Structure 1
């Protein structure tokens, strides 16, 4: 019997889960909630590493046509049907760096598979302990499988996990990223007993997104002679998040060391295979563009080994394209697009190297905008928004990165304009209220935010010896207040969309009052610039809130935001931008914050003068490495090593097509679009924009009127074409 209830428009199922018999496997029952704030070394001091396996054969008297499955686990599963890997999961819960207990929601993956015959085998491997930041547990191991088998005669039959399933532990998985098939109970010969039904503490909801596509991006084979060792390197065409798969037909020891680029810090896998056939797949996704492989033959014969790399990413049903006569711009778009692709997992990642949980909203906001031109499918962005709402609701409106909780409001509005999904907005209403209620408690008598828990995050740079990741008040206050103003204005618009006119009026009035306070406090009339924050005593009690310094400091950061968000009037905003963009005396900004600068440059018609030059900065880093996007222009601190899979700097994949097409969404859901083409430094541009209605085709050539073709359901309005188009 299924007990279900609707929770914020998503169905929760209470179903039988299974796990290892607690009497036989008492040491493999409990789990830590997350790896955030701890390490695998510390986890292993309290818990035992374990990969549980579950299997069952389903037999019927009828011919099968297809099966629909609902699968979840704690903490991470791999699902095989008839020996074929069909899925990994579950979809990530989201979470935040403050979320050190169970995440608010747990999810189940949905699969639909075509089958033939009258039987099929199910085999699942479940890693108990969390390994990367995106892993969350409810504190106990578990596996859940529910399905419907559809027969060719039109009938169906339900199947599910229960005590008739077989269960065991694959003891060859003896530690994180370590496998020894010579230990008792390997993949080929586990000792199975009956699974134990356990209480459903997960109440898993259906994942809002389609399941990941699993793609083999590289395979290498090698023969290792008897009594010999070999060492070789495998280079991938691009950087991917990969699960290494190793096979052999004999005994050997393999060490696999992966990195994004040769010479960078490596992550390692150590595998020991026994005689006969062996197969190992890592439970850790590595960010890899290259791999160093060392194999020692311990068999009595020659051994053949195979190394493959499986890269998961969000399924691609449509792809945008950007082709111009400027090869640097083309390469910039392609590298940004590829990096976005590998970061689109069951949540947006900051990078496949860091794999941070759903706490870096600034990254995901930019990635959602990139998606409009790269892939078109916005469901992952919507899911990120809703999971962030879940966390804000669970934690009384508080996120680890205070500025990012405000950027979340921008993300709601901008994603709504692309999708037209009011359901997403309704889902976020409670979280919006809690967010703004919390920020009310941060307000000072001067009408601006004075006492927040931190001023994170501004940018990945250092000023006066302070990291702008978590600056003191005098360096981060104005930026936080600027994001707050933008959140107020966007919230007013959001409430108007859902017909809440009372709150719309309230937030509109609050925004106007706040704008006056902002300018009274932070604007320096002599320099005609905004300074970074007040030097009043504050902070020093914790690492992420350094003690304040009594100093007035000026940087590009608050001036970019004040100009972009209308805190400065248009004349002042243009004047500020003209004075700060090329001002080398002010701290340089990283690719992440350049997103906001480019938005401001486009807003005030300065793209031809400054935007083209700003875009050229990406040419340097993609020509240096075109396998993935480098994290920044300059190291934020001595000895810092950039990753090359960081999509937060991919804003050109949004900014370039936006500038050239002059695209403006007039009606939410992209139902009415206005185009005002401008080629700027280019002679021609062909841009394909994927939408849920189909592909928009845009072609512009210098001296000619742009050609724009749109699918049924999209109305195009043509703006004036500038003289240099």
Structure 2
């Protein structure tokens, strides 16, 4: 997939003690290239990532830890849409800190980290990463995963001689529908200085704290800054009064797997237009800068020019109890609103939820006045290189290419998304198959599709090869074939072939005497249309078994070819 010249250059850099920046661009999940934002879009200028060159983490020194079991015994569980949904209590964050001294800066500092359900990590107050990469689960999937991804990050430039601090916030609830959980709130990390030496690792010497300032209601967030711990991520914070973390009994060997994709990029973007919303004429554009103004009971809108997948950061000066409501919108529908209750003085908040929006409408309620210092979007997606291009004499088709490329790009994160609005689980394979094909033409990336294919195989195995959308399970075989056509990755075919055969064996049990799939558990997903009075999303057998049998037939043909490639004459018949 890489040219021989590029491979030689990568090997040369690794073998000749090149700079930390050059090493980590190939040895960790970090993205270290250049992000370009221009009239074409937002993209990267290089393509140096290769899973073969990732830092080879083999042994974990650290253990899984969680909140202190004596002090926080009611907050040991996690909950997502389908696991522990009704057993867990209030949605909370678990905060972890560890201070340590560095006498001499090490030659490398690789942070290996993950958490359940998700996390954001900081070194000496600097944001490092958010994770983990999507684990992979089905729709309505009540079975915990049998693996968990971790990622590696170069943090050497954030270390200093003397005192240092790693701070991690762990979310014990899902921020998106695509997230899953083991059911236990837990966190693990090692800070490696080389393959055989770990400078710092998780154990019961870490400090922890239960944070209740963030609440999730449906898809919206409420953040009460009056309850937060000021500067808890900083190096000078005193955590003497925090209790010690407890060990969590959970697997490491065979369970922790390194993510084989680069971390998503983040690029700050300012609004291209702002206006105040007047009651007598809503959305009336008012040509003035909104930053630095005093707001009382009023609202304003920030227009970023186009829909984008992004986080956002707001900074403001407020009185205690002032309220700011932020409504992200693509057009008119609000996506994942935020209610922010201010503390006295400076407030800075970056939303942890990936969202999609063009507009951010900010509604302020303040008796004595509130000042917005800044508000900007943090565009985020899988790092994409604009490898393909298209120009036509008919400008409509050129514009159509640009729209499809941008839409596909927004739907590429740590998995292919059905949309950055819904963020459904990995099992929407029909959507991801199409998106991966668009990616091959536009961006030329093989790694995201590869990881999605592997995750889907693991999910199928865990659930007995029965997928919520029955047709999508055999479309997974088609997606794998398309990936093989693009990459020639025969090793992945060999790895996943046993899962293909078991999937087809299950479908054979759905056949009737006419070799039609009339006995399938369901016939989702066919189409969004209605056929007479029937919804083709989940049609009855009389409508659905025709197309599903055709999909299965195609899967059998592909499986036969794959088995023949790998010398299994019986399975190739």
Query: Which category of TM-score, normalised to the shorter sequence, fits these structures?
Result: 0.7 to 0.9
- Write the distance in 2 (CA, Å) between the matches of 1:433 and 1:10: 31
- Write the distance in 2 (CA, Å) between the matches of 1:274 and 1:351: 34
- Write the distance in 2 (CA, Å) between the matches of 1:137 and 1:70: 19
The match for 1:350 among 398, 418, 432 is 418
Within 5 A, what are the aligned runs for 1:128-277? 128-149=172-193, 157-176=198-217, 177-183=221-227, 185=229, 192-201=242-251, 203-218=255-270, 222-225=291-294, 228-251=296-319, 252-261=322-331, 263-277=332-346
Provide Cα deviations, 1:272-326, integer angstroms capped at 9, x if missing partner.
1111222222232222121211122355x65334222223211235532222222
The match for 1:496 among 530, 546, 564 is 564
The match for 1:22 among 63, 66, 69 is 69
In 1, are the aligned partners of 2:62 and 2:189 still within 8 Å (CA)? no
Q: What is aligned with 2:50?
A: none
Unaligned residue ranges in structure 2 (runs of 5+): 1-55, 275-289
Within 5 A, what are the aligned runs for 1:396-475? 396-475=464-543
Within 5 A, what are the aligned runs for 1:60-139? 60-115=102-157, 117-118=160-161, 120-139=164-183
- Write the distance in 1 (CA, Å) between the matches of 2:193 and 2:413: 28
In 2, are the aligned partners of 1:181 and 1:187 still within 8 Å (CA)? no
In 2, are the aligned partners of 1:79 and 1:87 still within 8 Å (CA)? yes
* CA shift in 2, pair 1:193/1:246, >3 Å: farther
- Write the distance in 2 (CA, Å) between the matches of 1:403 and 1:22: 44
Q: What is aligned with 1:675?
A: none
- Write the distance in 1 (CA, Å) between the matches of 2:304 and 2:472: 34
* CA shift in 2, pair 1:349/1:360, >3 Å: same
- Write the distance in 2 (CA, Å) between the matches of 1:63 and 1:147: 13
- Write the distance in 1 (CA, Å) between the matches of 2:216 and 2:445: 38
Q: Does 1:388 align with 2:456?
A: yes
The match for 2:97 among 38, 55, 61 is 55
* CA shift in 2, pair 1:270/1:450, >3 Å: same
Secondary structure at the aligned position of 1:70 is classed as: strand
How far apart are residue 376 of structure 1 and its match? 1.1
- Write the distance in 2 (CA, Å) between the matches of 1:135 and 1:200: 19
In 1, are the aligned partners of 2:120 and 2:170 still within 8 Å (CA)? yes
Within 5 A, what are the aligned runs for 1:476-487? 476-487=544-555
Within 5 A, what are the aligned runs for 1:525-674? none
In 1, are the aligned partners of 2:269 and 2:378 still within 8 Å (CA)? yes
TM-align CA RMSD: 2.6
- Write the distance in 2 (CA, Å) between the matches of 1:104 and 1:462: 38
- Write the distance in 2 (CA, Å) between the matches of 1:380 and 1:267: 26
- Write the distance in 1 (CA, Å) between the matches of 2:231 and 2:216: 15
* CA shift in 2, pair 1:233/1:184, >3 Å: closer
Number of residue pairs aligned between Structure 1 and Structure 2? 486
Secondary structure at the aligned position of 1:168 is classed as: strand
* CA shift in 2, pair 1:418/1:114, >3 Å: farther
In 1, are the aligned partners of 2:266 and 2:379 still within 8 Å (CA)? yes
How far apart are residue 415 of structure 1 and its match? 0.3
- Write the distance in 2 (CA, Å) between the matches of 1:323 and 1:459: 31
Q: What is aligned with 1:279?
A: 348
- Write the distance in 2 (CA, Å) between the matches of 1:489 and 1:184: 58
In 2, are the aligned partners of 1:54 and 1:124 still within 8 Å (CA)? yes
In 1, are the aligned partners of 2:335 and 2:421 still within 8 Å (CA)? no
- Write the distance in 2 (CA, Å) between the matches of 1:456 and 1:420: 31
Task: Give 1 or 2 for the bigger CA radius of gyration.
Answer: 1
How far apart are residue 377 of structure 1 and its match? 1.4
In 2, are the aligned partners of 1:20 and 1:168 still within 8 Å (CA)? yes
Secondary structure at the aligned position of 1:277 is classed as: strand
How far apart are residue 413 of structure 1 and its match? 1.2
In 1, are the aligned partners of 2:91 and 2:215 still within 8 Å (CA)? yes
Secondary structure at the aligned position of 1:322 is classed as: coil
> Normalising by structure 1, what TM-score?
0.63
In 2, are the aligned partners of 1:11 and 1:206 still within 8 Å (CA)? no
Secondary structure at the aligned position of 2:70 is classed as: coil
Unaligned residue ranges in structure 1 (runs of 5+): 1-8, 507-725
In 2, are the aligned partners of 1:10 and 1:205 still within 8 Å (CA)? no
In 1, are the aligned partners of 2:83 and 2:144 still within 8 Å (CA)? no
Q: What is aligned with 2:81?
A: 35
Q: What is aligned with 1:591?
A: none
